Structure 1
């Protein structure tokens, strides 16, 4: 199944609205680091329900926020969740971004980058559309070190890229993005029961659940356009 078909089905079933609930615990900390200034142009790549772009507008008074998604129904739903004229949604391909060179101040992507058909091509496109000094904030929970995420591939029909932290840094640099920072953001909002509650329906051992949420969390890589 294509990315478009997979996530059109998600949007049609209303699963897009759950994205914020699942990702906000770590996304808000990454968003809080972005050096967005009033009037900046921001691209939310793989926007899903559009929650991140709306938060950027509300927090930073960005000039324009574009949300791009490969699934038309996702973009349609996201547009229906706001009446802000400075937030717009487009359907597009990660490998051919519909923006002019040096047109974007900042790119944000949360739990979407690994769906790119060619992640290296996507990084080159991001570097192209970013103005010199512009930033790319890329957050992923599906990555090599997070062994508890590996099974996610079996639950979705779209092929996903599973890089480790070093591969992210190398790919960013190869695309012309200086790696300004990289770290993991723990999820401290998921409730972890005490030892007596284990095994649960989802976890055999409490140690694994602690590792998944408190240690691995979201891998954030920040690139700066040269």
Structure 2
């Protein structure tokens, strides 16, 4: 199954809003760090429901916001969630971003980058479209150190790239960007039941669930265009 087919199915079944609800716990903290200034142009790469771009418009006064997704139904749904004329959605491929060189101030991607068919080329594309001093905020929950994410590949037909922290830094640098920071953002909001309530359907022990959400959380890697 292609990325388009997989996420068209998600969009038509309403799972795009569910993704937004789950991701927001950590995404809001990463978005708050972005040095977006009023009028800046932002690309939300793998935008899903488009919540991140809309948040940057509301909280930081971003100028033009583009949401790009490989699934037409995702982009269609996202467009229906806003009437802001400065927010637009396009269907596109991560390997050939439909923007001219030096045209974007900031790129955001949450839980989408690892779906790229050629992630190193995608980083080169991001570096190409970023203006000098522009940033790329890459947030993922599926990464090597997060052992609890490894089984996710079993439940999706798309081949995903599972890098570790060092591989993210190396690939960002190889694309010509400067690694400005890298850390993990814990999910402090998801409810973790008392130990007496375990095992649950998805978790054998409370310790495992605490590790997944409070310790591993979301890996954030930030690249800056020189």
TM-score when normalising by structure 1: 0.99
1:208 paired to 2:185: no
1:146 paired to 2:146: yes
Please give the per-residue CA displacement for 1:140-195, whole angstroms capped at 9, x wherever unaligned. Answer: 00000000001110000000000000000000000001000000000000111111
Partners of 2:92 and 2:201 lie apart in 1 by 38
Q: Which residue of 2 aligns with 1:162?
A: 162
Q: Which residue of 1 aligns with 2:59?
A: 59
What is the deviation of 1:108?
0.2
Tell me the secondary structure at the aligned position of residue 171 of structure 2.
helix
Please give the per-residue CA displacement for 1:115-156, whole angstroms capped at 9, x wherever unaligned. Answer: 000000000000000001100000000000000001110000
Tell me the secondary structure at the aligned position of residue 32 of structure 1.
helix
Partners of 1:113 and 1:37 lie apart in 2 by 24
Partners of 1:209 and 1:18 lie apart in 2 by 20
1:87 paired to 2:91: no
Partners of 1:56 and 1:19 lie apart in 2 by 18
Q: Which residue of 2 aligns with 1:18?
A: 18
Structure 1 moving runs of 4+ over 4 Å: none
Partners of 1:151 and 1:36 lie apart in 2 by 35
Q: Which residue of 2 aligns with 1:77?
A: 77
1:50 paired to 2:23: no
Structure 2: stretches of 5+ with no match in the other structure: none
Please give the per-residue CA displacement for 1:38-87, whole angstroms capped at 9, x wherever unaligned. Answer: 00000000000001110010011111000000001100110010000000
Partners of 1:193 and 1:72 lie apart in 2 by 38
Tell me the secondary structure at the aligned position of residue 105 of structure 1.
strand
Which segment drifts farther, 11-20 or 34-43?
Answer: 11-20
CA RMSD between the two structures = 0.5
Q: Which residue of 2 aligns with 1:6?
A: 6
| Length, aligned pairs only | 226
Tell me the secondary structure at the aligned position of residue 126 of structure 1.
helix
What is the deviation of 1:20?
1.3
Q: Which residue of 2 aligns with 1:30?
A: 30
Partners of 1:59 and 1:65 lie apart in 2 by 13
What is the deviation of 1:205?
1.0
What is the deviation of 1:9?
0.7
Q: Which residue of 2 aligns with 1:99?
A: 99
Tell me the secondary structure at the aligned position of residue 83 of structure 1.
coil
Tell me the secondary structure at the aligned position of residue 18 of structure 2.
helix
Tell me the secondary structure at the aligned position of residue 134 of structure 1.
strand
